[in-house]
Structure 1
Amino acid sequence: MRTAVLDATTLETFVSAAVAAPSIHNTQPWRFRLDPDTLTLEIRAAAQRGLRHIDPTGRALHMSVGCAVLNMRIAVAHFGWEPVARLLPRPDEPDLLATVRLGGSARPSSHTSLYDAVWRRHSSRFPFSECPPPSSVLTELAEAAHSEGALLHRLTPGRANSVLNLTREAEHRNTTDASRAMESRRWVGEAQGTGLGMPPEVLGPQDFLDRIPMRDFRAHRHAEVLSAQPFEKRPSITVLSTAHDRRTDWLRAGQALERVLLVATAQGIRASLLHQALEWPDLRDQLVPLTDARRSHAQMVIRLGYGPQGPSTPRAGNALLPQ
């Protein structure tokens, strides 16, 4: 039931839910502000946390913020308000990526059923079992993506191998590109005491047989120094895509991605994000034909399966800007 007024505790819960969203390298590139007159929450980009070399266009930053927007919508609905979201609402304020206004009483929706998953979801960079997710769950994940204006394609084993090959090439480029490697390493170090970046315990091992090219956030040039374990032989790989590739599409893709991840969490499915090939335009272009969505734009590669939950990444302190 909706609280009579928006009190400080509820507002903090909305922001905490948004901050629980995934973000590239756990950079958490967002800031929030409440307009008390209109009961509207503003979600702004924290440009200083952008990855200048890894994400020069800001596409991944926008997707990260889109994930936060979806979590905020779910939290607002859970507390009884109708979340009214707008993307890029003021062209003269390019850092204002979205607003969520607290409207009338919330209509029954899938928002509230995913509220618990907001707090339990996090990526697992560990081996999954050989048991694939059932088709019924994958269909539900595709419907979740579609409800947010995106497509989720499950790849055949042959096409999944092609995507993994592109990811492996991208991972090689990332570790040998000095600027990108340095930027990635910095966000491993940033986790120490800041609540940002990737602490060592969440990085996970590499695939012993190199079937699945997991990201090496420390960008080692010699793989033999990394810990390794056997991963699943036939990973379940999906690709999230959108019809267009504008800033609004990146924000919609982020909301679709987070809805997919929350539905997966609610169904006991683990997920890890293989983003490397999307960071190189020529490799990203090669992803779309593998999904048969030839007029769409790949936004994320998602590996799904059953396995350990893995440790969670930290979160920074209060991201709420003064009113």
Structure 2
Amino acid sequence: MIITGYTTAVLEKAVRAAVHAPSMHNSQPWRFRLRDGGIDVRVERGRPLPVAGHGHLDDWAVHLACGAAVFNLRLALAAEGTPARVRLCPDPEDPDVVARLMPDSPAMASPAELALLDAVPRRHSSRLPFFPQPVPGETRWRLVDAARAEGAWLELVVGTAAVEALGQLAQSANRVLERDPGYRDEITRWTRGGLSADGVPARAGGPVAEPQDLLPQRPFGERTRAPGRDFEPEPLVAVLGSAGDTTVDRLTAGQALQRVLLTATDARLVASMISQPIEVPAARERLRTALGRFGIPQMVMRIGYGQPGWPTPRRDVADVVDAPLAGSA
């Protein structure tokens, strides 16, 4: 049996999970609507969105964020007993519709799906130093399998020399970005105080960067770290990649990214994303070559045990849901 269509009540419940997806500078570049019994995920062009990589990446950050939101929708719909079939880029005449979720045969959610859904509101980027405790091998493979389950790949960077080389690459890319006044202005615009429903509150930013840091941090925060509290010298660093770099590839990578992050949260790990090596084309190509993998790097992550990240605000469901189109409940 296939259900006839999603209802407004189901849409709203699913969107409550979807809006917890990560997005560059917490820009939340998505909208949702019912259409002919399914749920459309659309890029919201009516609000300012971050310009990643000096504009060289077009909608890369937007597509990853929307893909992550699609994964949260899938989990929430599965928990309702109404799993979805997903079509990416379903409407050639409207490229801002990046996904359409249609009802599949009713089924109970698996324990794994429920565990990941439970992790959705607990996942926050942690920009603080991690504890020195290493991530066990079994947990590392869970992360690799999470990416593979979504049609992407996750390369764990192993060994002091390899991690240091990636750190140098990331710092070099960060210096390129910081030389751009537009990039610096954009960071300032997305650093929030008060009651804003988007952007990154200064309290959620990490401590101010210091010259000895292995990996770069966005300058969202103003705190200085405690004496002797340097960032970990050899964190678990992972590179997420996809087969290509089309819109579909990026949306696929976004779903894989969220599955990896939620898997990490379920394992009591914390993570932060390091996109600077992706945003600078030369750095991205050097990273691709160094990995020797088929495909395109889409995100670098720092993963480990540590203090949970500070929650960032989210827009209300009513602010991101459009009126249904014809034939919708």
Corresponding residue of 2:283: 283
Deviation at 1:10, TM superposition (A): 3.3
Match of 1:221 in 2: none
Task: Give, in angstroms, the shift of residue 4 of structure 1.
Answer: 11
Residue 118 of structure 1 and its aligned partner are, at CA, apart by 1.2
Map 1:1-323 → 2, pairs under 5 A: 8-35=8-35, 38-47=36-45, 48-52=47-51, 54=53, 56=55, 57-106=58-107, 109=110, 110-156=112-158, 157-189=160-192, 192-206=194-208, 208=210, 209-217=212-220, 227-228=224-225, 229-293=229-293, 295-317=294-316, 318=318, 319-323=320-324
In structure 2, how many angstroms separate the alpha carbons of the residues matched to 1:4 and 1:269? 39
Stretch moving more, 106-115 or 74-83: 106-115
Provide the residue aligned with 1:222 in structure 2.
none
Given the two structures, how large is their TM-score scaled by the length of structure 2? 0.89
- 1:176, CA displacement in angstroms? 2.0
- The secondary structure found in structure 1 opposite 2:135 is coil
CA deviations on 1:189-231 (whole Å, 9 max, x unpaired) are: 4x6433110111101114543222212147xxxxxx7623411
Deviation at 1:134, TM superposition (A): 0.6
Is the deviation greater in 45-54 or in 97-106?
Answer: 45-54
Q: CA deviation at 1:179?
A: 0.9
Given residue 28 of structure 2, which amino acid in structure 1 is its aligned partner?
Q
Structure 2: state its 5+ residue gaps: 325-329
Deviation at 1:9, TM superposition (A): 4.1
Does structure 2 retain, via aligned residues, the 8 Å contact 1:87–1:251? Answer: yes
Is 296-305 or 102-111 further displaced after alignment?
A: 102-111
> Secondary structure of 1:204's partner?
coil
Q: How far did 1:173 drift?
A: 2.1
State how far apart, in whole Å, the 2-side matches of 1:53 and 1:136 are: 34
The answer to whether the 8 A contact 2:209-2:219 is kept is no
1:270–1:315 distance in 2 versus 1, CA, 3 Å: same
The answer (yes or no) to whether the contact 2:240–2:299 under 8 Å persists in 1 is: yes
Q: Summarize deviations over 1:141-184 as a string: whole Å, max 9, x none.
A: 10110011111011123222111111111222222210111112
Distance 2:64 2:125 in 1: 15
Could you tell me which amino acid in structure 2 is paired with residue 46 of structure 1?
E
SS at match of 2:42: strand
Residues 53 and 266 of structure 1: CA distance in aligned 2, closer, same or farther (over 3 Å) = closer
Q: CA-to-partner distance for each residue in 1:20-75, whole Å, 9 max, x for gaps? A: 1000100000000012xx32110000123322354621111100000000000000
Contact 2:85 2:104 survives alignment (8 Å): yes
How many angstroms apart in 1 are the aligned matches of 2:215 and 2:277?
13
Q: Is the 8 A contact 1:87 1:97 kept in 2?
A: yes
Structure 1: runs of 5 or more not aligned? 219-224
DSSP-derived class of the 1:31 partner: strand
Between 1:46-55 and 1:24-33, the stretch displaced more is 46-55
Percent identity reads 36
Q: CA-atom RMSD, angstroms?
A: 2.1
Given that 1:85 and 1:99 are in contact with CA atoms closer than 8 Å, whether structure 2 keeps it comes out as: yes
- Matched to 1:247, the amino acid is T
> What do the CA deviations read for 1:58-107 (whole angstroms, capped 9, x no partner)?
11110000000000000000110121111000111011000111222126
- Counterpart contact for 1:39–1:101, Cα < 8 Å: yes
Q: How many residues align?
A: 312
SS of the equivalent of 1:49 reads coil
**Gap change, CA 1:7 and 1:86, over 3 Å in 2:** closer
